[in-house]
Amino acid sequence: MAVLVNFKICDNAKECGGIDVCPTGALSWNEEKEIIEIDNDKCISCGLCEKECPIGAIIVAKSNEEYKKIGKEIDEDPRTTKDLFVDRYGAVAISDFFKIELEEIKEKTEKDCLTLIEVYNPDVVECLLRSIPIKDLTKNLPRDTLFYKAESYKIIDEYKITELPSLLIFKKGELLGHIDGYYTIDEKEKVISKLSGIIKNK
């Protein structure tokens, strides 16, 4: 039948697991164009590729109606790979730009401005799916607010984190509070309100 790839969130890599598992060659890598290619004449809607994609970018349609519906949902999807991979609360950073090491936390949080550090589990890629853009979380915060990501389990005990991902909020070297656990994009306002509460109470 048919498969669709949401290229808004797909990182369009040659190493795509969907290509590897496709038994018919309906998904392939075009070396010249450097893009994942779809040949829906070959697709048998087995669903193997969909199961393989950790961020839900590959979607298999079982009927023409479903194909149209999924296509519309992809057209209307506001997400981008940048939102998903780099600046989302609850998403693994692929850019080293935001990443800091455990040893750097003290130095990075000493400034007068607010500093947010997301501590995340690098093995949980499902959180890429519906996590919250950091620009939405920080839109009401001072413009000089800093944001980093730390890929480490070691600091869980030190900051009494109960669940990952966790957003640690610092100012002048002091930990103001943290928001633990995974929140879906529907719960964005809840996280924003928690964040404001922590900042206001200090």
By CB under 6 A, is residue 94 in contact with ligand SF4? no
Q: Judged by CB under 6 A, which of 9, 16, 26, 191 binds ligand SF4?
A: 26
Burial code (b: 16+ CB inside 10 Å, e: under 16) for 147-167 equals bbbbbbeeebeebebeebbbb
In three-state secondary structure terms, 188 is: helix
Beta carbon nearer to ligand SF4, 47 or 173: 47
* Residue 74 makes contact with ligand SF4 by CB under 6 A: no
Q: Which of 104, 87, 105, 107 is nearest to 95 (CA)?
A: 87
Judged by CB under 6 A, which of 48, 84, 179, 195 binds ligand SF4?
48
Given 4, 10, 27, 195, the residue binding ligand SF4 (CB under 6 A): 27
Q: What share of the chain is helix, strand, coil (3-state, %, to 5)?
A: 30, 25, 45
Tell me: does residue 164 bind ligand SF4 (CB under 6 A).
no
In the DSSP assignment, the letter for residue 141 is S
**Binding residue (CB under 6 A) for ligand SF4 from 7, 20, 24, 106:** 24
- The residues of the shown chain that bind ligand SF4, judged by CB under 6 A, are 3, 21-22, 24, 26-27, 43-49, 60
